[in-house]
Structure formats: C-alpha cells, structure tokens
Homo-oligomer: A and B are copies of this chain.
C-alpha cells in the first residue's frame, strides 16, 4: 500500500527527471479570493500534467524482467506513461479510444508509445483487448490511479508543497486538488500528513461528477450518474478508487464543487494573471479557491493546476467568455 516511505522513494527516483514546479501567485487573484492563493502549476510538468510523475514512478519501479508496460487512457495518463517508458527504454502500449482527440493520439505516438485504438461506439472492450495484449507480450499494466506506485509518484507533488509552504511560513491552509480517481489527491494527502500536518488536502470536482465529494460526505464510495460528459472530462472517473478512497476518507477535508463555466473563468484568469495554460479539469481547484471562498478557511490557500492539455477551440471559448480582465 502507498505510504510516505513509498512517496519519498518515488521522489528520489524522480529527482532530475520530473520538474520541480514552484508556487506562483498574483495580487489580482488574491483580491478576488479575499486571501492569498498559491498555485502549484503542474501544467508545466513534462507532458503537460502531473501524470508524468505517477507514470515515471511506476515505470522506474518495474521489475527488471518486465517486458513493457500497458495503459488505458484517452489523455494525460497516456502521455505521462509514454514519456516515462521511453526514458527507461521500456516499450509502452497505450490503448486509446479511436475517437479520442487526434492531438492526444499523435502526441502519445510521438512520445514513443505504440498506440492501439479501439472502437467505443462498436462496443469493443478495451479490457479484453488489453488482457490479450498483456498476456501475449508479457506487459505490466499501469493503472491511472488505483496503483500504489502511481499514487506515490503523484504524492511527490505534496512533498514539494509542504517544503515550499514551510519556507513561506504557511503552517495552516487548505490544499485544493483537482480530483478524478483520487491518485493526486490521496498522494498529496499522504505527503502532507507526514511533512505538513497543518495543511489539509481537499478534492475539487466539476458539477455532475462530484463522486468523491459525495463519497466523502456519505462515508462510502458513490458513483457518478453519468460515465462522462461536460468540459472537465480529463479528470472524470466513474467513482473514487478502492485504494485512493480510504486514504482520502482518513485525511481529506470536504470536497468542493464548481461549474464548467467557473472552470472556464479560472482558465482565463490563469492565462491573464499567471501566464499559464490550464485545461478545464485542471482549473477546477483554482475555480474553487476563487469562487467558493466562503467554503475555505484561513489567510492562505494552495491550489493545484493539474494539467494544461486543452485544444485551441476550448481555450478560445474560455477567453471569449472571460478573457476581458478590465
């Protein structure tokens, strides 16, 4: 199971490979939120999202006899695993839906992975396809979040937050985390428990896909009514993970929920005030800090921008609606 020792070991393996992202701020964002907002820009991470950390952690922990890795993903996990595998000279097979954005398929291929497409509409089972490939080629499956070494890799984000917060004298604050299956949230929560017990991780989700917030509230895993939809698809999963949920239940504060429009608004503010590119799902924690200030306590709040892999059309939509900052 994931624990702080596993996170520290992952940090040692990631050193010199994952980018050490800073905490950024803007007086203009502070003014909106009524407190200081500190932004951890994982959009600047290799492959444009925190997923590289988990991918690298998992690949670097492989048994030397492993013949290659396998992942299911339509986006950020695919690119993170692809790059990490290439850097370890380990073959990677990524199973992606044929209707995934063509840029994400092209990027994953360009990062050195073999991309195998399946037809969601025709009812092809990616699990059957994956199982056949896995046994045939002796591949190791890297799950996107319910995987101890992936959680450990994402948890290195929390070690850095704890270190930077201490250097700035921030002893107590909420740490808002963009949450899908809970890999990043649970990893950060474990790191903060060990290194910054006054900081508390809180999952942030889009409306309609607030399975983690409801699960924490109910004390048991709840599912989303719909499997996907909305603008924040990159972070939507059917329900919290079996490994991640107990960690979040033990350590996290209540979840925060924002609308798609608020996520777009936060994207435009990250663009204008921080000069950062966020994807809609990557902006939900910033949106919560800006627009759910009444549900947050303290003079400081720390937020993750989990990724920036967004297409031009969606980015322009955010700027058209919210890009006028005057």
What are 22 contact pairs spanning A and B, CB under 8 A? A24-B44, A28-B107, A28-B110, A31-B110, A44-B274, A44-B275, A44-B276, A48-B275, A102-B326, A103-B326, A106-B326, A271-B277, A272-B277, A272-B312, A275-B308, A277-B277, A311-B323, A312-B320, A312-B323, A312-B324, A315-B319, A316-B316
- Tell yes or no: A121 within 8 A of B by CB: no
Q: Which residues of B contact A27 (CB under 8 A)?
A: 110-111
> Which of A272, A278, A319 counts the most chain B CB atoms within 10 A?
A272
Count how many chain A residues have C-beta atoms less than 8 Å from C-beta atoms of the other chain.
36
User: A106 — nearest CB in chain B belongs to which residue?
Assistant: B326
- Tell yes or no: A1 within 8 A of B by CB: no
Q: Which residues of B contact A325 (CB under 8 A)?
A: 103
Q: Which residues of B contact A34 (CB under 8 A)?
A: none
Q: Which residues of B contact A19 (CB under 8 A)?
A: 22, 24
- Tell yes or no: A43 within 8 A of B by CB: yes
Q: Which residues of B contact A326 (CB under 8 A)?
A: 102-103, 106
Question: Which of B24, B28, B276, B315 is A276 in contact with, Cβ under 8 Å?
Answer: B276
Per the bound structure, the CA–CA distance linking A227 and B244 in Å amounts to: 60
Using A43-B275, A110-B28 as known contacts, say yes or no to A323 and B315 having CB atoms under 8 A apart: yes
Q: Beyond A24-B44, A103-B325, A275-B308, list 8 extra A-B contacts (CB 8 Å).
A: A20-B22, A43-B275, A44-B274, A106-B326, A272-B277, A275-B276, A276-B277, A316-B323
Question: Which of B43, B274, B320 is A316 in contact with, Cβ under 8 Å?
Answer: B320
Q: Which residues of B contact A102 (CB under 8 A)?
A: 326
Give chain A's interface secondary structure class: helix
Per the bound structure, the CA–CA distance linking A311 and B325 in Å amounts to: 9
- Residues on A close to B: CB < 8 A? 19-20, 22, 24, 27-28, 31, 41, 43-44, 48, 102-103, 106-107, 110-111, 268, 271-272, 274-278, 308, 311-312, 315-316, 319-320, 323-326
A37 to chain B, nearest CB (A): 15
Per the bound structure, the CA–CA distance linking A326 and B324 in Å amounts to: 28
Nearest first, the 5 A-B pairs at minimum CB distance are A312-B323, A275-B308, A275-B277, A43-B275, A312-B319
Q: Which residues of B contact A106 (CB under 8 A)?
A: 326
Per the bound structure, the CA–CA distance linking A106 and B275 in Å amounts to: 18
Per the bound structure, the CA–CA distance linking A107 and B31 in Å amounts to: 13
User: A104 — nearest CB in chain B belongs to which residue?
Assistant: B326
A167 to chain B, nearest CB (A): 10
A273 to chain B, nearest CB (A): 8
Using A22-B19, A27-B111, A325-B103 as known contacts, say yes or no to A315 and B48 having CB atoms under 8 A apart: no
A266 to chain B, nearest CB (A): 14
Per the bound structure, the CA–CA distance linking A43 and B271 in Å amounts to: 11
User: A24 — nearest CB in chain B belongs to which residue?
Assistant: B44
Q: Which residues of B contact A324 (CB under 8 A)?
A: 312
User: A273 — nearest CB in chain B belongs to which residue?
Assistant: B48
